[in-house]
Amino acid sequence: MYAQYTLHEWVGVSPDVAFTENLKKAVIETLRSELEGQADPDLGIIIAVLDAEIEGDGILLSEDPNIYFPVKYTLISYEPMQLEVSKGIVRDARDFGLFVSLGPIDGFVHRSQIMDEDIEYIQERRGFKGKETGRLIEAGDIVNVRITQISKTSKKSGLYRIGLTMRQPYLGKEEWYKANKEQKTENEQK
């Protein structure tokens, strides 16, 4: 789930940047270079710093060349939530399952969680094919997945391992459940 946070923190800015005409821009650039793409154990994966406001005068610390300013800033982060349904792109396929990009993080779908039928791995297409229906899923396909398992590699790092499934209604490739819906409508009309 994506979330927006407003935080207050002292931000150190290099003196050569601090004395430029646009201090606010310098603070935002400093925050972006330090935070964006980082995993925080409380906030999740930080996607972007949106804005920052300097709330007072800067201070100097001994043996530190930076000037520290009290700053209020806003950022967007992503933290996976148990049972959340997400849209992703199949990044890669191996004989044991699929790697799906959920944006800032990748998840894994074990081959037993791809379809409700037996499947075979097709190495040259980097994908899987259903033995009964012939449905094909391969790298580059857009899929709906449900997060079934979240484990952090450590409490301090904020890095995640995400387990996914596509074996529930309205998950997998969009064309799969549209075809199922059309088939049910035809059977009901008969």
Which tokens go with 146? Answer: 């449900």
Q: What is the enclosing helix (H) or strand (E) of 1?
A: none
| pLDDT score for 1 | 84
The answer to whether 71 and 53 are in contact (CB under 8 A) is yes
* Cβ-based neighbours of 5, under 8 Å, separated by 6 or more: 43, 74, 75, 76, 77
| pLDDT score for 152 | 76
| pLDDT score for 32 | 94
| pLDDT score for 19 | 76
Same domain, 96 and 168: yes
Q: Which residues of the chain have pLDDT under 70?
A: 21, 153-158, 179-190
Same domain, 65 and 103: no
Same domain, 180 and 125: yes
Its domain, for residue 42, covers 2-78
Measure CA 85 to chain center: 12
| pLDDT score for 184 | 62
